[in-house]
Amino acid sequence: MNYDKKIMRKILGIASLVLVAAAVIIACRHEVPEQNMAEKCLIPLPGTITPQEGAFMLKKKTVIAVDKDNEQLLALGHYLAGLLKPATGIEFKVKTTSRLTPGGDIRLTLTNDDPDLGKEGYELSVTRRRIHIKANTPAGIFYGVQTLRQLLPPAIEKKTVQEGPWLVPAGTITDAPLYSYRGFMLDVSRHFFPPDDVKKIIDEMALFKLNRLHLHLSDDQGWRIEIKSWPKLTEVGGSTEVGGDKGGYYTQEQYKDLVAYAASRYITIIPEIDMPGHTNAALASYAELNCDGKARDLYTGTNVGFSTLCTKKEVVYKFLDDVIGEISAMTPGPWFHIGGDESHVTPMEEYIPFINRAQEIVARHGKQVIGWDEISNATPQPNTIVQFWARADNAKRAVGKGARVIMSPANKAYLDMQYDSTTTLGLHWAGYVGVDSAYIWDPATLVPGIGREQVVGVESPLWTETITNMKDLEYMVFPRLAGHAEIGWSEPARRDWNDYKVRLGNFAPRFEAMGINFYHSPLVPWKE
Ligand code: ACM
Model pLDDT, residue 25: 42
CATH match of 37-175 with 3.30.379.10: yes
Between strands 222-223 and 218-219, the pairing is antiparallel
CATH architecture of 181-494: Alpha-Beta Barrel (3.20)
319: pLDDT strictly greater than 50: yes
Long-range CB pairs of 26-33, under 8 A, 24+ apart, other chains included: 28/502, 28/506, 29/502, 33/506
Partners of residue 520 on adjacent β-strands: none
Mean pLDDT (the chain, rounded): 93
Among the listed residues 53, 288, 342, 512, the single catalytic one is 342
Average pLDDT over residues 505-522: 98
| Least confident interval from 29-33, 424-428, 478-482 | 29-33
The secondary structure element, H or E, covering residue 95 is strand 93-96
If one counts every other C-beta atom within 10 angstroms of the C-beta of residue 280, the result is 24
Residue 208 has pLDDT above 70, yes or no: yes
| Alpha carbons 519 and 477: distance in angstroms, whole number | 9
pLDDT of residue 218: 98
pLDDT at 26 over 90: no
For residue 20, pLDDT over 70 is answered with no
Q: Ligand 1, atom 2: nearest CA belongs to which residue?
A: 389
Question: How large is the average pLDDT for residues 474-487?
Answer: 98
Q: Ligand 1 pocket, 305 CB below 6 A?
A: no
- Pinpoint the residues of the chain covered by CATH 3.20.20.80: 181-494
Helices (H), 108-231: 138-151, 195-207
Output the pLDDT for position 271.
99
Average pLDDT over residues 98-105: 79
Give whole-number Cα distances, 83 to 150, 156, 180, in Å: 12, 8, 25
143 touches ligand 1 (CB under 6 Å): no
Residue 303, classed as helix, strand or coil, is coil
At residue 299, the 3 state secondary structure works out as coil
Region of 193 on the Ramachandran plot (φ > 0 left; ψ -120 to 50 alpha; else beta): beta
Mean pLDDT of 401-409: 98
pLDDT band (50, 70, 90) for residue 29:
very low
Instruction: Output phi, psi for 319, to 5 deg.
Output: -55, -50
pLDDT at residue 395, rounded to an integer:
98
Contact 368, 385 (CB under 8 A): yes
* CB proximity list for 450: less than 8 A, separation 6 or greater: 388, 395, 396, 399, 405, 444
- Can you tell me whether residue 329 is helix, strand or coil? helix
Does ligand 1 lie within 6 Å of residue 372's CB atom? yes
Please give the share of the chain, as a percent, with pLDDT higher than 90.
Answer: 89
Handedness of CA 422, 428, 433, 438 (dihedral sign): negative
* Average pLDDT of span 36-53: 88
β-bridge partners, 223 = 218
The pLDDT of residue 16: 45
Range 154-174 average pLDDT: 96
Q: Smallest Cα–Cα separation from 309: which of 319, 299, 323, 297? A: 319
In the chain, % of residues over pLDDT 70 = 93
pLDDT of residue 330: 98
- With a 6 Å cutoff on the Cβ, whether 288 touches ligand 1 is no
Q: Compute the distance between CA of residue 33 and CA of residue 42 in angstroms, rounded to an integer.
A: 10
Radius of gyration of the chain (CA): 25
Query: Which residue blocks in 50-194 are alpha helix, DSSP H?
Result: 71-88, 138-151
Which position has the higher pLDDT, 8 or 471? 471
Q: How far apart are CA 284 and CA 288, in angstroms?
A: 10
- Ligand 1 atom closest to 387 (CA): 4
- State residue 7's pLDDT score: 53
Q: How many CB atoms lie within 10 A of CB 259?
A: 20
CA 341 / ligand 1 centre spacing (Å): 6
pLDDT band at residue 528 using 50, 70 and 90 as cut-offs? confident
Using most ligand atoms within 8 A of CB, pick from 372, 375, 394 the residue to mutate for ligand 1: 372
Q: Is 389 in the pocket of ligand 1 (CB under 6 A)?
A: yes
CA 134 to chain centroid, in Å, comes to 22
CB 226 within 8 A of CB 250: yes
Active site residue 342: yes
Q: Is the pLDDT of residue 385 over 50?
A: yes
How far apart (Å, rounded) are the C-alpha atoms in residues 472 and 482? 17
How do residues 343-360 score in pLDDT, each as one tens digit?
Answer: 999 999 999 999 999 999
**Where are the domain boundaries for CATH 3.30.379.10 in the chain?**
37-175
pTM: 0.93
**Residue-wise pLDDT tens digits, 219-273:** 999 999 999 999 999 999 999 999 999 999 999 999 999 999 999 999 999 999 9
Spatial neighbors of 198 by CB under 8 A, at least 6 apart, are 186, 188, 213, 215, 258
Atom number of ligand 1 nearest to Cα 339 = 4
